[in-house]
Amino acid sequence: MVRLFVEVAGLKLENPLILASGVNDKTPEQWIRAHEEGAGGVVTKSIGIEPRNGYDNPTIVELPYGLINAMGLPNPGWKGFLEMVEGYTFDFPLIVSIFGGTPEEFAFLAEKLSEVANAFELNLSCPHAKGYGMEIGQRPEMVYEVVKAVKDVTDKPVIAKLTPNIDDITKLGLAAEKAGADAVAAINTLKAIAIDVYARRPILSNRVGGYSGPGVKPVALRAVYDLAKALNIPVIGIGGITTWRDALEFFLAGARALQIGTAVALRGWKVFREINEGIARYLEEEGFESIEEIVGLALE
């Protein structure tokens, strides 16, 4: 009997697929829908201290191999988030994504939201919000400070989401591990731009956005491979995972769980079920009983 159950950073997941932050994850109804459609866990939209409306439209450009988005971290703020989840109970791990401009802001949010979060994902990698995300997360010393500040105020698992927009992502992973992170997630989007040839100007209102989807998969896979070789904590793979074959490549490269975002936007909620079924079929056909048995086999 094949088992899809995994345990990552203290989180028990009925299967290894997690809804990624940034796409269909703004409301509790969407989190519940993701779980009903086959996600083992959910990451929320990134939550900050104050409400943000985000950037003006257009905020998304669809390309043949993915999306470029510059949403601007729209969110209801921590107070609005608590009001939104009031009255709900979730029978799956809820990973709350948080962002801030300083280690103190991250720690403040972790304190305020610990009652509702099963774990925290630290957004150290958004490529298009000035003063947040990647601007903080490109510096290993800041990654260390943020992770340590959050670990000092919560006993919930802490996952550092890393940017690929750096010369060597393992520097960031090692800094997160040294500060006590329970896992790292890689990658967030690649910094990108699209231009309208008739308007003769960038399409996105923010000009620069983050590229996600099938086109970034080889970059994400390489990042996971490098991190899995360098770190002793688990790596959660993200980036262009659209099919069960994609998922298996990430496991073989050392990922212990996976996040799926753009594929939901491009192919619908069915991707969770389809990928899980494909993983289970592969394991059975190849003589494995669990995902744990194949994690990192390509590293040897």
209 three-state secondary structure = strand
- Both structure tokens of 224: 């996971």
Closest CA to 102 of 131, 74, 134: 131
Q: Would you say 217 is a known binding-site residue?
A: no
Is 278 within any annotated ligand binding site? no
The SS3 of residue 90 is: coil
Which tokens in the block code for residue 264?
């939901």
Instruction: Please indicate if the annotation marks 125 as binding a ligand.
Output: no
Task: List the structure tokens of 222.
Answer: 């390489």
The residue annotated as part of the active site, out of 126, 143, 172, 181, is 126
176 annotated among ligand-binding-site residues: no
**Residue 240 in marked binding region:** yes
Q: Exposure of 3 by Cβ count < 10 A (0-12 exposed, 13-18 middle, 19+ buried)?
A: middle
Query: Structure tokens of 161?
Result: 């989401």
Task: Check whether 114 is labelled as a binding-site residue.
Answer: no
Is 70 assigned to a binding site?
yes
102-121: string of b/e by CB count within 10 Å (b at 16+)?
Answer: ebebbbbbbebbeebbbbbb
Q: Which residue has the tokens 């943000």?
A: 52
Is 229 labelled a binding residue?
no
* 115 CB-near residues (< 8 Å, 6+ apart): none
Q: Is 126 a catalytic residue?
A: yes
122 annotated as belonging to a binding site for a ligand:
no
Known binding residue 123? Answer is yes
Are the C-beta atoms of residues 222 and 197 closer than 8 Å to each other? no
Tell me: is residue 237 an annotated ligand-binding position.
no
**Which tokens go with 22?**
């940034």
Q: Is 54 annotated as a binding-site member?
A: no
Beta-bridge partners for 294: none
Please give the angle made by the CA atoms of 169, 208 and 62, to the nearest 5 degrees. 95
Which residues form the catalytic set? 126
Q: Which residues are annotated as a binding site for FMN?
A: 21, 45-46, 123, 161, 187, 213, 239-240, 261-262
Q: Which residues are annotated as a binding site?
A: 21, 45-46, 69-73, 123, 161, 187-189, 213, 239-240, 261-262
Which residues make up each annotated binding site for substrate? 45, 69-73, 123, 188-189
